[in-house]
Amino acid sequence: MTAQLINGKEVSLKIQDRIRKQVAERQTKGLRQPGLAVILVGDDPASAVYVRNKNIACEKVGFASFSHILPASTSEEELLSLVNELNNNPAVDGILVQLPLPKHINGQKVIETIRPDKDVDGFHPYNVGRLAVKMPLLRPCTPKGVMTLLEEYGIEVKGKNVTIVGQSNIVGRPQALEMLMQRGTVTICHTATRDLPAEVNRADIIVAAVGRPNCIKGEWIKEGAVVIDVGINRLENGKLCGDVEFDVAKERAAYITPVPGGVGPMTIATLLENTLQAAQLHDKAA
């Protein structure tokens, strides 16, 4: 079997187009332009690229974008004070603090300072908790983007064995909650998992979110499985690759996401969706 490619780039453009139209409609109704504030602390080059891409995407759909690029020496207090200022700014619907943060800053404290109704990353314990009890409000972007891709391609989760490799707060854990909400039978694998190849081989749907190039071997994939690769790893030759050994996996899977062009573009498209959703929450509250 040769897998059908899941084209995240195409789906993300469709979402962006829909959001652009919704923003234009808001304008004709006299409603505010949704606003997203992005904070970057330090000079991690990959983070700088993401932040730039977020700003470009905001402008494309007609959002107001507020960019705060701070030096690595920024204190936790200064960062918390900026978050509080943005919490109180009515032009800002969404606040995103790019992770990872420098070591001297307590990331969890920063996340918990963001107002839950402006937490467009969905990382605040309030939003994580709502997702856990099947009452989601703002949902983490990458896992939600994965669910959108599955839906777009007509891939049902109900009753399927879903194996998620990786237990991060950003992807693995919220992805498990998303899959469970769709009634998948969910397994989360991590470094203490005893037999990773066997867990992957049982899966009808695999989500790889490890961050190590080609660590999921193609031969582990069950014939006809759906492979979602969240990894974006840069090799020494400058090329990007995922967590899954793509060339082998694609000969066994029914569907597979490429890297780049799979899950990656969905994260930003979903961030835009969440920001529009936050603006709608704030319309109601006004």
Residue with smaller CB distance to ligand GUN, 61 or 232: 232
> Is 54 a catalytic site residue?
yes
Considering the candidates 22, 54, 160, 250, report the single residue annotated as catalytic: 54
CB 122 within 8 A of CB 131: yes
Considering the candidates 121, 204, 229, 243, report the single residue annotated as catalytic: 121
Considering the candidates 16, 98, 167, 277, report the single residue annotated as catalytic: 98
DSSP structural state of residue 34? P
Smallest gap from residue 277 Cβ to ligand GUN (A):
16
Q: How far apart are CA 63 and CA 19, in angstroms?
A: 10
Residue closest to ligand GUN when measured from CB atoms: 99
Smallest gap from residue 271 Cβ to ligand GUN (A):
7
Residue with smaller CB distance to ligand GUN, 161 or 168: 168
Copy the structure tokens of residue 179: 């899959």
CB 59 within 8 A of CB 114: no
Q: Decide: residue 152, CB within 10 A, 0-12 exposed, 13-18 middle, 19+ buried.
A: middle
Smallest gap from residue 122 Cβ to ligand GUN (A):
9
Which of 220, 207, 226 shows the shortest CA–CA distance to 165? 207
Q: How far apart are CA 37 and CA 65, in angstroms?
A: 6
Smallest gap from residue 46 Cβ to ligand GUN (A):
9
Residue with smaller CB distance to ligand GUN, 74 or 267: 267
C-alpha to C-alpha distances, 183 to 127, 136, 249, nearest whole angstrom:
20, 15, 25
Q: How far apart are CA 54 and CA 99, in angstroms?
A: 14
CB 162 within 8 A of CB 203: yes
Smallest gap from residue 202 Cβ to ligand GUN (A):
28
Q: Is 233 helix (H, G, I), strand (E, B) or coil?
A: strand
Which of 170, 82, 64, 85 shows the shortest CA–CA distance to 121? 170
Residue with smaller CB distance to ligand GUN, 65 or 267: 267
Residue with smaller CB distance to ligand GUN, 170 or 186: 170
Residue ranges binding ligand GUN (CB under 6 A)? 96-99, 121, 141-142, 170, 267
Active site members: 54, 98, 121
